[in-house]
Structure 1
Amino acid sequence: MASELHETIFMAKQERHKNLFLNYRNLNHFPVELLKDEGLQFLERLYMKRNSLTTLPDSLAQKLPNLIELYLHSNNIVIIPKAIGNLSRLQSLDLSSNALQLLCPEVGRLRSLRHLRLSNNQLKSLPPEIGDLQFLETLDVSMNQLASLPDRLHRCSSLQHLSADHNLLSRVPRHLCRLARLTQLSMAANRLTFLPLDLGGSRELQFVFVDNNLDLKGLPSYLYNKVIGCSGCGVSVRGGDAVQEGQAEALSEALLGLPSEVKAVASEADNVVPLEELAMRTLHRLYHQQRRHPADVNLPPPIPLPRSLLDLLQFPLGHCHRCTQAMFTVIYPKLFPLRHTALAGVHRRTTVSFVAYCCSSRCLRTFNLQA
């Protein structure tokens, strides 16, 4: 086996192969032949699936500087070296089905990366630096132990497919609603209780799979015309009152960090928008005017605000589904039954409803999702 491996690598060097297949070789260590002398400067794709590797060499980027694709599926890799960030041309990295417990921040330096697959590992968190991957199109972190996703993930402006099934996620970062190119979102078998109010507002997002989130009791109405998978959701709910009560609890969680007096869902009978909401809407208008016209002398001076409020002004809790008014605290919810789609057979096994969120009782009365 060793002689065969040596011969394969020798031929690759002699003939300047761009692709090298070392799958199913029962390798315990990274082959030193790949790292001798000048390495394989011309190699672009390295396949090392189904081996027994536990780590990668620090000199990987130095000896294989032109790697575009690196496939390490089904090994025993526990840690990857910081030097991996030097693979400046790398576009696809597959570390699925390994033993990763930690992902080094240097992954954020892989600025050419388009596909990152980390499913079936032991990751409990992801480094915020993943948000620096502006060309990333695919991110698969399914079957890990993630309790949250990085808030900076919304900076991955090219992201199209995000899979985070079978984790411990209790929420979806609302900033993900800003991913204009996201076409498919899969977060099945987590602990979700609510989805961001604006999720589905982008025309590009067409597929959302949230099956087997037992406490998920409502879907934003922006998802009404999308392909939805929600089998096994809301199974603990009994009747419309329970849905309304559960939705109130979910929205209360969505308002974490705000004073307790604004953590409430207004009823349809309310005719006055609370002062806190009016103040936030006014600040929002001023904030965006100042950003668009920083030199306009007619505008009031900038208002110093804590970071949490500045973040909320930049990324509102949601927008009115009737008039698109930005919303920050109070929401008027209106339930609609789950419509029949191609997945109607699946939907009938749930008690999940679509929920429209409006900024006022007036918008609520005039909004009809099914019109």
Structure 2
Amino acid sequence: MASELRAAIFIAKQERHKNLFLNYRNLSNFPVELLKDEGMQFLERLFMKRNSLTTLPENLAQKLPNLIELYLHSNNIAIIPQAIGDLVKLQSLDLSDNALQIICPEIGQLRSLRHLRLANNQLKFLPQELGDLRELETLDVSMNLLRTLPERLHQCLSLQCLTADRNLLQCLPRQLCLLPDLNELSMAANCLTSLPLDLGRSMELQFVFVDNNAQLKALPSYLYNKVIGCSGETKWRSSGTMVLHKTAHDKDYKNKLCGLAAQISDVKQLCLTLGDVTVPLPSEVKAIGSETDRVLPLEELACRVLHAAHNSCLSTDVKFLTSFLLPKSLLDVVRWPLGHCHRCSQPMFTIVYPKLFPLRETALAGVHKRTTVSFIAYCCSSQCLRTFDLQG
């Protein structure tokens, strides 16, 4: 077997092969023949699936500088050296079915990487540096021990397919809704209790799979008419008489009412102004000081104004206010709304009005019996709540 391996590598060197197949060789160490002298400067694709490798050599990039595809599926690799970041031409890296417990931050230096597969390992977290992979199109981290995904993942502006099935995810970063090219999102068999309000807002997202998330009771209505896979038993029977407050450590945040019974009258619309930025107040604000009518919390109104100011760049004063005077924690809240109103696209930060709809027919309805979860719309005011419909 060793002689056959040496012969295969010798022929590949002599004939300057661009592809080298070393699958099913029972290799426990990286072949030294690949690393001798100048290595194989011309090699572009290296296949080493189904071996027993435990690590990679530190000088891999030095000896194989032109690698664009590296397939290491089904080995026993536990450590990826920091030098992996030197494979600057690498476009596809497959480390599925190994023994990885950690991914070094240097993986973010693979700026040409388009496909990264890390399924079936023992990863408990992913480095934030994955967000530096601006060319990344496919990311598969299924069958790991992940509880969260990196918030900076939204910086992977080319990402089209994200798969994280069979992990321990309880929530998804809201920033994922900003991925402009994301077409397929698969989060089946996790511990999800909710999905970001804006999920599906992008027209590019067409396939969403959240099967076997037992605590997931509703889907954002932006997913209406998408190809969805879901399972769960809807226990809510509300018609929209509840307001959700995003308040830390508040056990009753789902039960706070905020003027849903208020009647809308033909009164002059009030506004909140900060410099050159004007934000209309919701229609609930019609008779300040009355005993029956309630207004949105001041923190919500302030966040909406600051968000508009942050995005406007109408004057130097506004930019100074949002960029320098606000603490980072508040600035992050202003930059990343909780969601956008399904009716008018108004950003929302601390309070939303939910409205539930039965799950309509989708491409998977009746095929996989995935029709037990309702759609849920989120609105910024009771007026939008009453006027929103999935048919609109």
Code of the residue aligned with 2:235 in structure 1: it is R
Q: Does structure 1 retain, via aligned residues, the 8 Å contact 2:97–2:119?
A: yes
Q: Distance in 1 between matches of 2:365 and 2:240?
A: 22
* Partner residue in 2 for 1:321: 342
Distance 1:263 1:20, change over 3 A: same
* Partner residue in 2 for 1:331: 352
Q: Does structure 2 retain, via aligned residues, the 8 Å contact 1:230–1:347?
A: no
Q: Does structure 1 retain, via aligned residues, the 8 Å contact 2:364–2:370?
A: no
* Seq. identity, %: 68
| Residue 269 of structure 1 pairs with residue 269 of structure 2 | no
Q: Does structure 2 retain, via aligned residues, the 8 Å contact 1:137–1:160?
A: yes
| Residue 281 of structure 1 pairs with residue 304 of structure 2 | yes
Q: How does 1:272-311 map to 2 (within 5 A)?
A: 272-289=295-312, 292-295=313-316, 299=318, 301-303=320-322, 304-311=325-332
Q: Does structure 2 retain, via aligned residues, the 8 Å contact 1:54–1:78?
A: yes
* Partner residue in 1 for 2:388: 367
Q: Distance in 1 between matches of 2:365 and 2:253?
A: 37
* Partner residue in 2 for 1:357: 378
* Partner residue in 1 for 2:276: none
Q: Does structure 2 retain, via aligned residues, the 8 Å contact 1:51–1:75?
A: yes
* Partner residue in 2 for 1:160: 160
Measured against aligned partners, the alpha-carbon deviations of 1:25-81 in whole angstroms (never above 9, x if no partner) come to 010100000000000000000000000000000010000000000000000000110
| Residue 177 of structure 1 pairs with residue 177 of structure 2 | yes
Q: Distance in 2 between matches of 1:326 and 1:294?
A: 21
Measured against aligned partners, the alpha-carbon deviations of 1:158-189 in whole angstroms (never above 9, x if no partner) come to 00000000000000100000001000000000
Q: Distance in 2 between matches of 1:2 and 1:139?
A: 35
Give the RMSD, CA atoms, in angstroms. Answer: 2.2
Code of the residue aligned with 1:278 in structure 2: it is L
Cα offset, 1:130, TM superposition: 0.4
Measured against aligned partners, the alpha-carbon deviations of 1:3-37 in whole angstroms (never above 9, x if no partner) come to 00000000010000000000000101000000000
Q: Does structure 1 retain, via aligned residues, the 8 Å contact 2:240–2:355?
A: no
Distance 1:87 1:170, change over 3 A: same
Q: Give unpaired runs (5+ residues) of structure 2.
A: 263-283, 285-294
Distance 1:122 1:307, change over 3 A: same
Cα offset, 1:228, TM superposition: 0.4
Distance 1:148 1:113, change over 3 A: same
- Aligned to 1:12, what secondary structure does the other structure show? helix
Measured against aligned partners, the alpha-carbon deviations of 1:332-360 in whole angstroms (never above 9, x if no partner) come to 00001000122222575553110111000
Q: Does structure 1 retain, via aligned residues, the 8 Å contact 2:124–2:147?
A: yes
Q: Distance in 2 between matches of 1:309 and 1:259?
A: 19
* Partner residue in 1 for 2:117: 117
Q: Identify, as 1 or 2, the structure richer in helix.
A: 1
Q: Does structure 2 retain, via aligned residues, the 8 Å contact 1:180–1:202?
A: yes
Aligned residues: 358
Of structures 1 and 2, the larger Rg is shown by 2
Q: Distance in 2 between matches of 1:109 and 1:301?
A: 33
Q: Give unpaired runs (5+ residues) of structure 1.
A: none
Q: Distance in 2 between matches of 1:19 and 1:38?
A: 17
User: 323-332 vs 339-348, which deviates more?
Assistant: 339-348
Cα offset, 1:368, TM superposition: 1.1
Q: TM-score, normalised by structure 1?
A: 0.91
Code of the residue aligned with 1:309 in structure 2: it is L
Distance 1:348 1:74, change over 3 A: closer
* Partner residue in 1 for 2:82: 82
Q: How does 1:30-179 map to 2 (within 5 A)?
A: 30-179=30-179
Q: Distance in 2 between matches of 1:132 and 1:107?
A: 9
